[in-house]
C-alpha cells in the first residue's frame, strides 16, 4: 500500500506471564514495526490478565472492535496472532469483520498479514490458534502435575503455617505452625471452631499477612487441610458431600500435625456435620413461636426453612412467614441475655440473704452478752455460744454459705452450645415461654397472653 497508513495495536496477557510476551514487550514490538514501515500508531489497546478464550471482561478488546467500525483505521497490529483471540470462532469472526472493512491484520512476530491470506487460510489460522491454546493448556496442566508429584507447591496462596523455599518445597513457619497445632489440639479437646477463633483474636493472633481476624470459616479451613500431614493433597467431594483427599506428591515435606490427629479431627467433624443436618431440619420453635398477626401457633416447614402460621393452611389469612435461621438466632440471643439477668438476680438475692443473716448473728451475740452480764448464763455457756456465733460470722464473711448460683449445665446458653434443641424445646415448654416478632424483626416475649397458654 502507498501513502501514510493509520493503525491501532492490541496487547494482552493472561494469568502466567512469559517475559517474551509481557505487555511492555508486545507494545515495543508493535511500535518498532510502525516506525519501520512509516505507519501512524493511533493507540494501543491493552488487556492485562485476561484470557483470550472469552470476550467477556476484555474491555479494551471490545473498545478496539467498536473503534475500527466507526473510525478510519487501516491496520490492526499485534505482536502474536493469539493475542487477538484463542477461540477459533471469535478469531475468525473478528478477522472477517476487518477484511470486510478493508482493514489489514498484522502479526509481527509471525510475519503474517491478512492481505495475503485467503478466507480458507484465515479459517485454518483460527483453528490453529485454538489448537495451540489447548495444547499449551495441556502442557501447563501436565507440568503442574509433575511439579506437585515432586513435592513442589506452585500455588500462589500457601497453606497457613508454611512457606516455600527457592525450589518451591514447603517449609514450616514455626510461629504459624504453632497456631495450627493449637487449633487441632483444642478442637480435639471439645472446643468449637467459633470459640477457637474468638480466643485467637482475643490474644491478637491474627493472620498477619492479611491483617484479618480469625473466623470459624478460617479455622475450619485449617482443620480440613490434609497437606499439614506431610504430603500435598487435592480435595474433592463425593456424591454424599464428604471430602476425598487425593495425594498428588511422592515427596514428603515437614508435617505440622500427625495423620492420626488429622483423622481424629475428621471423625469428629463428620459426626458434627450429621448432627447439624438433623438440627437444620428440627424446628424447636414449633408451637412456641406465635403469629404476630393472629397469635396462632406457628409450625416449621423443613423443605422451605421457615416457620408459618397454622391458620395459613386454610389460605384465609395473610399471616407472615419467617426465616428459620433468623428467628432462631434472635431467640438464642434473647435466652443468653436471660441467663445473664438470672445470674445477676441470683447474686443480688444472695447478697440480701447475707445481710439478713449478718444482722441475725449480731443480734444473737448482743443478746448473749446481755444475758451473761445479768448472770443468766454461765461463763462456760457464754464462751461456747460466742464461739459458735463467731464461727458462723466468719463463714458468712468468707462467702461459704447461702450462695446458690446457677450451674453451667442449667443455663440456656449451655444447652444451645450442645446443639440439643430437643432439650431446649422441653425447657421452653416447661417454663411456658412463648415468642412473637414485629415488622422490624424484633423478638417479643409473650407473657400471660391467651395465645401463649
Q: How far is CA 257 from the centre of its chain?
A: 23
pLDDT tens profile 411-422: 787 888 777 888
Burial of 283 (0-12, 13-18, 19+ CB in 10 A): buried
Percent of the chain with pLDDT over 70: 82
The Cα 9–Cα 341 span in angstroms is: 72
Confidence of residue 254 (pLDDT cuts 50, 70, 90): very high
The predicted pLDDT at position 279 comes to: 55
Strands 112-113, 233-237: pairing is unpaired
Residues 221-229: what's their mean pLDDT? 92
Cβ 253 vs Cβ 152: under 8 Å: no
Was domain 5-144 assigned CATH 3.40.50.1390? yes
The predicted pLDDT at position 170 comes to: 92
pLDDT tens profile 68-104: 888 889 999 999 888 887 777 778 888 888 888 889 9
Residues 17-23: what's their mean pLDDT? 68
The Cα 242–Cα 336 span in angstroms is: 33
Residues 291-298: what's their mean pLDDT? 87
The predicted pLDDT at position 349 comes to: 53
Q: Which residues of 151-182 are buried (b: 16+ CB within 10 A; e: fewer)?
A: bbbeeeebbbbbeeeeeebbebbeebbebbee
Where in 191-261 does DSSP place strands (E)? 233-237, 243-247
pTM assigned to the model:
0.43
pLDDT at 399 over 60: no
Burial of 313 (0-12, 13-18, 19+ CB in 10 A): exposed
The predicted pLDDT at position 395 comes to: 75
CA dist list (Å): 125 to 75, 82, 94, 113, 383? 18, 10, 12, 11, 115
The predicted pLDDT at position 334 comes to: 87
The predicted pLDDT at position 140 comes to: 65
Higher pLDDT residue, 440 or 119? 440
Question: Please, what is the average pLDDT of the chain?
Answer: 80
Cβ 6 vs Cβ 75: under 8 Å: yes
pLDDT at 450 over 70: no
Higher pLDDT residue, 57 or 274? 57
Cβ 147 vs Cβ 154: under 8 Å: yes
CATH number given to 162-279: 3.90.1750.20
Cβ 92 vs Cβ 123: under 8 Å: yes
Cβ 43 vs Cβ 94: under 8 Å: no
The predicted pLDDT at position 343 comes to: 55
Amino acid at each position: 500500500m502507498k501513502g501514510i497508513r493509520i493503525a491501532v495495536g492490541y496487547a494482552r496477557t493472561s494469568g502466567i506471564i512469559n517475559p517474551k510476551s509481557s505487555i511492555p514487550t508486545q507494545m515495543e514490538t508493535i511500535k518498532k514495526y510502525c516506525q519501520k514501515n512509516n505507519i501512524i500508531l493511533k493507540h494501543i489497546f491493552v488487556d492485562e490478565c485476561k484470557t483470550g478464550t472469552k470476550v467477556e471482561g476484555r474491555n479494551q478488546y471490545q473498545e478496539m472492535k467498536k473503534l475500527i467500525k466507526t473510525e478510519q483505521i487501516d491496520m490492526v497490529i499485534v505482536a502474536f496472532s493469539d493475542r487477538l483471540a484463542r477461540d477459533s470462532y471469535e478469531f475468525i469472526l473478528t478477522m472477517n469483520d476487518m477484511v470486510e472493512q478493508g482493514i489489514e491484520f498484522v502479526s509481527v512476530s509471525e510475519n503474517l498479514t491478512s492481505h495475503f491470506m485467503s478466507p480458507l487460510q484465515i479459517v485454518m489460522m483460527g483453528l490453529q490458534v485454538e489448537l495451540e491454546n489447548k495444547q499449551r493448556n495441556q502442557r501447563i496442566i501436565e507440568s503442574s502435575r509433575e511439579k506437585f508429584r515432586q513435592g513442589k507447591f506452585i500455588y500462589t496462596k500457601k497453606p497457613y503455617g508454611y512457606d516455600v523455599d527457592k525450589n518451591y518445597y514447603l517449609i514450616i513457619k514455626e510461629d504459624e505452625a504453632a497456631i495450627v497445632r493449637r487449633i487441632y489440639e483444642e478442637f480435639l479437646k471439645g472446643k468449637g471452631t467459633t470459640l477457637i477463633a474468638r480466643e485467637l483474636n482475643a490474644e491478637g493472633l491474627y493472620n498477619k499477612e492479611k491483617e484479618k481476624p480469625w473466623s470459624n470459616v478460617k479455622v475450619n479451613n485449617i482443620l480440613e487441610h490434609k497437606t499439614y500431614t506431610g504430603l500435598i493433597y487435592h480435595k474433592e467431594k463425593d456424591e454424599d458431600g464428604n471430602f476425598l483427599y487425593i495425594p498428588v506428591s511422592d515427596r514428603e515435606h515437614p508435617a505440622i500435625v500427625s495423620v492420626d490427629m488429622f483423622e481424629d479431627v475428621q471423625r469428629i467433624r463428620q459426626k458434627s456435620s450429621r448432627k447439624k443436618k438433623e438440627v437444620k431440619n428440627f424446628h424447636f420453635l414449633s408451637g412456641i413461636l406465635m403469629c404476630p398477626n393472629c397469635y396462632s401457633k406457628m409450625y416449621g416447614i423443613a423443605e422451605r426453612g421457615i416457620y408459618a402460621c397454622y391458620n395459613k393452611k386454610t389460605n384465609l389469612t395473610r399471616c407472615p412467614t419467617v426465616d428459620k435461621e433468623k428467628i432462631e438466632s434472635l431467640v438464642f440471643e434473647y435466652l443468653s441475655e436471660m441467663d445473664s439477668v438470672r445470674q445477676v438476680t441470683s447474686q443480688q438475692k444472695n447478697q440480701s440473704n447475707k445481710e439478713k443473716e449478718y444482722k441475725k448473728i449480731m443480734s444473737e451475740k448482743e443478746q448473749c452478752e446481755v444475758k451473761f452480764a445479768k448472770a443468766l448464763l454461765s461463763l462456760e455457756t457464754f464462751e461456747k455460744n460466742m464461739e459458735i456465733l463467731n464461727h458462723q460470722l466468719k463463714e458468712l464473711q468468707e462467702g461459704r454459705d447461702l450462695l446458690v448460683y446457677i450451674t453451667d449445665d442449667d443455663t440456656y446458653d449451655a444447652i444451645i452450645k450442645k446443639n440439643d434443641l430437643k432439650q431446649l424445646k422441653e425447657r421452653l415448654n416447661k417454663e411456658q415461654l412463648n415468642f412473637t416478632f414485629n415488622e422490624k424483626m424484633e423478638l417479643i416475649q409473650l407473657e400471660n397472653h391467651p395465645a401463649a397458654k
